[in-house]
Structure 1
Amino acid sequence: MLLSVASLRQPTFNPQFSQLRAPGQSITDYVVSELDARVEFVRRKIRIAAKAAAADHDGSECLFFTLPEFFWNIPWREVDSEDELHELTTAYLEKVPAYISSLMKDLPVERYGKIVLLAGSCATLVKVGEGDASYYEVINYLLTITNKEYETDIPLMSMWPKRHVSGIDFGRNVGNQDGFWFFRLFDEFVIKIKDYSDVSAEHSYFGGYQGLFINSLVPGCPFGINVCLDYAVLKEGERDKEVEIPEVKIDFLIACGMSFDYDKQHPTAVQYSIRNDGMGGGACEVVRLEEGLIVDEIASEEIDDNLYLSVIRVV
């Protein structure tokens, strides 16, 4: 089975993508303006990749398109207060899925071929408790969506959350203690964040959600996802119950500061792994595996500014 893989290289740890927030602009309006710009940018890049894949990869059954971790986050320095932080979380949870869904509706399969978008991640913070005992839980989630499978008029969408929170997920941490990180998000506001998330995978189902990640969007080629630190920390099989088909042939590493481990024993069914990392200037990488070990790097062509295209053959 021939498959195309496109990845957009985009720095997200030190974001270069965001506009400054206008004086007096609400945090929700600012997020909307950022989402408008980013969706249009991604739409243009996917169209370029789809046309290149159709021209250069005759017989390819699908285009996988990846974005890095934190792609949809605005800089935390743009938040002015804890109330705005809560408003920001609401905006992310409500608006990011809607924007990604609208993006895929604009890319009909009849014109662009089958596309599976691994839409980077968006990190949100949910407050638990009040006063000195309060802390924040992280929902750092990646949405996967296709332009082929629909539920009525809505593209099929699955959500894969990150389990382990790292010490750089919200900038550089200022300390850790008893299962919590401490980050200075803005000004002198220090936030206490639980270092582990219990949120489970979900997929959309006729207006609701069910607790399973659908990874059979390309028949015969189930795929898996690790979000950054999970790649290094999770035990093999630890999250199998959250995914439709546990034995995957392609594994995606969506990250901001996590390289491939060439000494790591990966699941033996994995034939290729694709990395998109937002640390530094960003990095995109495709590797081939045999018997669970990385054995080769697959060449990628830069087909547009910071847009890379590869072809892989999965058996």
Structure 2
Amino acid sequence: MRIQEPYTSERVVLRHQGRDRTFVVVTPLELPEQPPALLYFHGSLQNGNVARNFTGRIFDDMVARTGAVLVYPDGVDRHFNDTRLRLLEKTRELDIDDVGFTRAIVDWLADNRGVDTSRIHACGYSNGGQMVMRLLHDAPGLLAGAATFAATMPAADNRVEGLGTVSVPTPFLAMHGTADRIVKYDGGVAGLDAAHSRGVLVSALESARYFATANGLGDPDHETVHGPEGVTVDSWSREGLPTVELWSIDGMGHVVPTPKQLPASIGPGTDSVVASDVLARFFGWA
């Protein structure tokens, strides 16, 4: 007998920018009034359903425990129009407004799930992480918290034209593997190979420091501690200001930390931490 999941899932079609856009919404069976929401932005060549399976549905299980509504947006041609100037994909060619699409999803969540629009959180993997960072720049105040996996800020000369500034301080969590060969932990040219280059990105530490600075935090607010085995956490915090954390995972590749066995082509996984657990704690949902 099949055990009923503690949530429902639905694929939604939303008309935006003259085209049908889609997303998967995961709703806990026990939904509180005015719940928070989490948007999960998938990586390159994925979509929302692929992202659910790629992560072993750890985020579905997490929102079922915490009472948040979860959305997996689908990028146009399996990509989001992110922060990087060197994003040679159809989404950039078509000038897709993924910031506007995200705002439309938030409106849908308010109308159809009663979500508290002051409690919208977002996380993303790789290209999706870059999309989260674009939201922090171009949709100030939309997010109550942000998290990225295997994504760092582009170098100054590799940022999309017209990218705004991070004008509203926001709690920010980054998780990155030291053995990531696609988005290198120490920075440099990103991409699967030279033919699929995404240009130069900064290091994981420099990227985290960028968001700490935007939150009004500096070197006196920084400390480095050892977490679970093989994990180092750099934290910037001060009373009254949103915290920034970088979780560096020794030997992990270009992955989201999950118990699921992932393709060897993107590098090793980890048994030390589970991304959804870290995220729930960071957002204050655990």
Which is richer in strand? 1
TM-score of the two chains, using structure 1 as the length reference:
0.36
Which is richer in helix? 2
Q: Which has the larger radius of gyration?
A: 1
